Each structure stands twice: as structure tokens, then as C-alpha cells.
């Protein structure tokens, strides 16, 4: 059984965790590993390389690393890593320290998310988590990008955006002397530890602003689950915000995806892979604008990275069949 003798390795390096998967060329999982967050942009390439090595060693504990014939690493800020010789050297060293002798490719996390949803070479991936970004994929390479501009100038419809808008609605209620609704009450409680409004409501306004500005702006994304939860229960302000967020996300898709396109659209990121009202609203919006596009949800990123490594090997004659085995239809 020669094919069981060779394997590919895939890594998905994210801000909160690093995951590694070792697969045979027929899609059998030989090992997996997990380590801490290793995004080189936020953590530094050296720290990222340490997590990379930890995840690789765990994944390869039952398999001879010399038999791995190809590897792919997916991570946010892949372009920056490739442009940084010291960072690249740290990754090379971790790769060798894990006993791997094959070359490896580095791809952006958006491409890996795309590949975890479809084997089609061309399509669109829309990711909404803390931030929001859309990419066109051509021949399984990232082509054009929309948004991903960061919280100050973009990320419309993201977790940051939902959190900020929820606070803005709360402040408008306090200004106007309106009784806060369910969402505003939840936001107030999360930020101030109590939903009580001072006899002079401007004091509560000031306390709310201070509670937000004490932290980094991007931390507003921590409030997004409150919006998602309130919308799940039909709260009107939250529902309106979800609708608006979905429109923003679909608008960013429309910047780079042709009208009438029939290639797949893959939804990724924590806000769109879970069964949230935002995911549902985005599906409706995408289906309205691109009625013939297959809609997919991103899955296991490490397995997708391993698939990207495997598909170019001459032994893998039917990459789509391998993808179907790795990501069975739900």
C-alpha cells in the first residue's frame, strides 16, 4: 500500500490557535496537533514559529516526518511573512526541527478558508469575524480583495462593526431619554456591570464611552455575541443591525464579484460559520444577488491546507474526489 507510506501536512495558523493535520493522499487522517495562537503579524514570527513546531510535533508523533512529501501553511498576513527574511527563516527552522524534509507553501488564511468550503478553482470567499474581508479566488490563488481595511476605515459588517453600532444605539437611547431595549441593556451591563442609568443620564453616557475607550477599539468586537444573541431572540434593534451588517458584507462581495457569477461563495469566520442570524441574513442576501451561486461554509482549515498541498502531487489524480472525502456534504 504505497500511498499510505506518503503523507501531506496542513497548518492553519490563527490568532487564537494553531492547528496541524497529517493526511494520507487518500484523505486518511494520520495525526493532528494543536498549539497557541501564532499569527506572525500580531505575535511576531519567532513566537509563531514556536507554536508551529509544537503543533507539528504533536501531529507527527505517530508518523515518520521524512515520509511527508508536501506541506501548506495558511495564515493571516502571509504576504508579510514572505517579505520578512527573518520570519521566513524562523519558519524554515521550525519546519526542519519537526523533521520535515519536503518544501512547504504559505497561503493567506482567506485562501485556506475558501479551500475548506469548495474544491472549485474559481470563486469567492467572504470572512466575517472580528474584521471582515472578501476575496476573489482564481485558480486557487487569492486574486482581488475587498474590505479588510481595519476597524477605523472598514470591516463593515464585522464583529467590531456590530459591537460599535450596538454601543452607538445605546448612546442614542441615553441621549434621547428612551428606555433601553434588551440589546442596549445587555451592552450596558457588559460594559458597566449594571444596567442602571444615572439620574443624570449624561453620566451613564460618559461612563459608557470611558468603558469602551479604556480598551483597544477592536475589543468592541467582544460585544458582537450580544447582538447575535439578541437577534436570535428577535430583538428589533439587533435584528436591524444584523440586516445592515449583511448588506455591508454583500456590498463588499459585490465590489469584486461579477453580477451573475455562478462560481461558489464560501462563508468563513466565526460570525458566518456558526448558525447565526448574520449567517442566515448573508445567505439570503447572496442568494438574492447571485441566485445561481452554490453557497458553502468554511470547515477545517488545517485539512484544507493539507488538501492544497496534496492536490498538486502527481499521485493525486482526482483532487475534487479527495476534497469530497475530506469535507463530506452536511
Q: What HEC string does the chain produce? A: CHHHHCEEEEEEECCCEEEEEEEECCCCEEEEEEEECCCHHHHCHHHHHHHHHHHHHHHCCCCCHHHEEEEEEEECCHHHHHCCHHHHHHHHHHHHHCCCCCCEEEEEHHHHHHHCCCCCCCEEEEEECCCEEEEEEECCEEEEEEECCCCCCCCCCCHHHHHHHHHHHHHHHHHHCCCCCHHHHHHHHHHHCCCCCCCCHHHHHHHHHHHHHCCCHHHHHHHHHHHHHHHHCCCHHHHHHHHHHHHHHHHHHHHHCCCCCCCCEEEECHHHHCCCHHHHHHHHHHHHHCCCCCEEECCCHHHHHHHHHHCCCCCCCCHHHHHHHHCCCC
- 214 vs 317, beta carbon nearer its own copies: 214
CB of residue 150 vs its own copies: minimum separation in angstroms?
6
Q: Of 133 and 281, which has the nearer Cβ to its own copies? A: 133
Distance of closest approach, residue 128 Cβ to its own copies, in angstroms: 16
Nine cell digits for residue 47: 513566537
How far is the C-alpha of 45 from the C-alpha of 42, rounded, in Å? Answer: 9
What does R_g of the chain's alpha carbons equal in angstroms? 22
Interface residues toward its own copies, by CB under 8 A: 144-147, 149-150, 152-154, 164, 167-168, 171-172, 175-177, 202, 205, 209, 212-213, 217, 252, 255-256
CB of 153 to its own copies, least distance (A): 6
Closer Cβ to its own copies, 145 or 313, answer by number: 145
Q: Give whole-number Cα distances, 89 to 46, 48, 49, 84, 94, in Å.
A: 9, 12, 9, 9, 9
Nearest distance in Å: CB 137, its own copies: 15
CB nearer its own copies, residue 40 or residue 154: 154
* Residue nearer to its own copies on the CB measure, 120 or 171: 171
Q: What's the closest the beta carbon of residue 156 comes to its own copies, in angstroms?
A: 8
CA-CA distance, 295 to 263, in Å (whole number)?
A: 9
Least gap, CB of 132 to its own copies (angstroms): 12
**Complex with its own copies: residue 121 or 201, whichever CB lies closer:** 201
* Residue 68 or 191 with smaller CB distance to its own copies: 191
What is the nearest approach in angstroms of its own copies to the Cβ of residue 108? 12
Nearest to its own copies of 179, 317 (CB atom):
179
Compute the least distance from the CB of residue 252 to its own copies, in Å: 7
Amino acid at each position: 500500500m504505497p500511498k499510505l507510506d506518503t503523507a501531506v501536512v496542513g497548518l492553519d495558523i490563527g490568532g487564537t490557535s494553531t492547528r496541524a493535520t497529517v493526511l494520507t493522499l487518500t484523505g486518511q487522517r494520520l495525526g493532528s496537533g494543536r498549539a497557541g495562537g501564532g499569527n506572525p503579524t500580531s505575535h511576531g514570527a519567532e513566537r509563531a514559529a514556536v507554536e508551529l513546531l509544537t503543533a507539528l510535533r504533536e501531529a507527527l508523533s505517530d508518523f515518520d516526518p521524512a515520509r511527508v512529501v508536501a506541506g501548506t501553511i495558511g495564515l493571516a498576513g502571509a504576504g508579510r511573512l514572505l517579505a520578512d527574511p527573518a520570519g521566513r527563516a524562523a519558519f524554515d527552522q521550525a519546519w526542519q526541527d519537526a523533521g520535515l524534509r519536503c518544501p512547504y507553501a504559505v497561503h493567506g488564511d482567506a485562501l485556506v478558508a475558501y479551500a475548506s468550503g469548495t474544491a472549485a478553482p474559481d470563486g469567492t470567499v467572504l470572512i466575517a469575524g472580528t474584521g471582515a474581508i472578501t476575496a476573489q479566488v482564481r485558480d486557487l490563488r487569492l486574486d482581488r480583495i475587498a474590505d479588510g481595511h481595519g476597524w477605523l476605515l472598514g470591516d463593515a459588517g464585522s464583529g467590531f462593526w456590530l459591537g460599535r453600532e450596538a454601543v452607538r444605539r445605546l448612546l442614542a437611547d441615553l441621549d434621547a431619554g428612551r428606555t433601553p431595549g434588551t440589546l442596549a441593556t445587555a451592552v450596558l451591563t457588559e460594559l458597566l456591570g449594571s444596567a442602571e442609568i444615572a439620574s443624570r443620564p449624561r453620566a451613564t453616557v460618559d461612563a459608557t464611552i470611558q468603558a469602551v475607550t479604556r480598551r483597544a477599539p477592536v475589543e468592541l468586537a467582544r460585544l458582537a455575541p450580544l447582538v447575535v444573541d439578541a437577534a436570535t431572540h428577535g430583538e428589533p434593534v439587533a435584528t436591524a443591525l444584523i440586516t445592515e451588517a449583511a448588506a455591508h458584507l454583500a456590498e463588499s462581495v459585490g465590489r469584486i464579484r461579477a453580477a451573475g457569477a455562478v462560481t461558489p461563495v464560501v462563508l468563513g469566520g466565526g460570525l458566518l460559520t456558526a448558525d447565526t442570524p448574520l449567517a442566515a441574513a448573508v445567505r439570503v442576501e447572496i442568494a438574492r444577488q447571485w441566485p445561481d451561486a452554490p453557497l458553502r461554509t468554511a470547515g477545517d482549515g488545517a485539512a484544507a491546507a493539507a488538501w492544497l498541498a496534496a492536490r498538486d502531487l502527481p499521485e493525486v489524480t482526482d483532487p475534487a474526489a479527495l476534497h469530497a472525502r475530506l469535507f463530506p456534504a452536511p
